[in-house]
Structure 1
C-alpha cells in the first residue's frame, strides 16, 4: 500500500496453467530530485544510511525496484542498453548485479555508449572476465536518429524480439538528444513492444539536483526542460 503499482490482470480465456490472480507489481517512487527520494531533505550531497550508520552519496540506487520479469511475462533473452556508461565498473556493474540478485536476470548482451574518450586498455581491464564476451562498448556519442549506425534504437529494432527482456538506461547529459530518443520510443510501437524498462535521468529545470552535478539548467530552452514536463 506504500508504493504505486502496476496491476497485471489476466485476460480471459485463461490457459490450463494460468492463474486468475491479479498481480500487483510495485513501482519505485517518483521524486522531485529525480534521484533518491530522500535527497532533497538531506544535508545536500549525502544521505544518512541508518542501516550502516554511514553516509551514502547522491548516487544511491537502493530505492529502485527490480521485479523478476518471469512473474509477468515470458522471457527468451535479456539485453541491457546503457547510453552514458563511462567505465563498466561504475554504475553499469552495480545495476547488472542488482538485476542478477534481485530479479534473477543474467543479461545475454550488453551494449554501452560513452561519448567521453576513455582509454580502451583501462576500460577492458575494468570489465569482469566473465562479462567481456557479452559487452559491446562504443566510445562515441550515440544518436537520436534511428537510422544512424550508433543508434541504440536501431539495434533494438534489428536484433531484439518482443519476447526478449530489454532494459534501456539513458543518461548522456544532453537533454535535447535524450528527449528525442524518448519521444522516438513513445512514437514507435515496435520499440514499445521491445523495451521493458527505462532508466532515465531527465535533466530539467526545477530539480534540486541541478545544483549537485547537473549544472545550471535555468537557461535550458524548448519543451520537456522543466520539472512539470
Structure 2
C-alpha cells in the first residue's frame, strides 16, 4: 500500500511508456531528419514545412480523436506520445545531417557513385547516432510528462493499471482527507523529470563535439 501511495507502481508504467515512446520518437525523428538534411533543396524544404504543419496541430485534439476512433491500447498510447515528441528531435537531426551533407567524406562518397541510401546508411546515420542518444535523454522526461498529463485526464491506461497521472488524479479527489496521495506521486514525478533533464543536459555537454573547443595541431 505504501509503495502504491509513493507512486512506485505508477512509476513503473509511466517510465516504461515514456521510454518506449521515446525510443519510437528517436527512430522516427532520426530517420526523418537524416533524410531531409541529406536531401537538401526542395525535398528538405517540403519535409520541414510538413513538420511545421504537424507542430500546429493541437496534440490533445489528435489524441482524443485517436482514442475515439480506435480502441484504447498500449500500442496506440505509445504511438500517440511518440508521434508528438519526435518533431523537435527531427529538426535537430535535420540540421546536423545538413552539415554532414557537405563534409568531404560524404561528398567523396557521392563522387564515387554511392547512392542516396548508401550515403545515408554509411555516413549520415552513424554520425547522428551519438547526438540522437543524447537527445533521447532530453525527450524522455517530455514523454513521461505527456503520459502523466494524459493519465491525469483519464486518457492513458485503464484500471486496474495505474500511472503517475492516474495517481495524481486520484490524489486530487482525496486531497482534503489524504493529501499524501497527491504529494507522493507528484514528488516522484517532479524528481524523476528533473533527474532525467539534468542527465540529458550533462550528456549533451559531454558528447556534443560541436560544443568542444578545437585544439590546434
Q: TM-score, normalised by structure 1?
A: 0.25
Q: With a CA cutoff of 8 Å and minimum separation of 6, indicate the structure with the bigger relative contact order.
A: 2
Q: TM-score, normalised by structure 2?
A: 0.26
Higher Cα Rg, which structure: 2
Normalized per residue, which structure has more helix? 2
Normalized per residue, which structure has more strand? 1
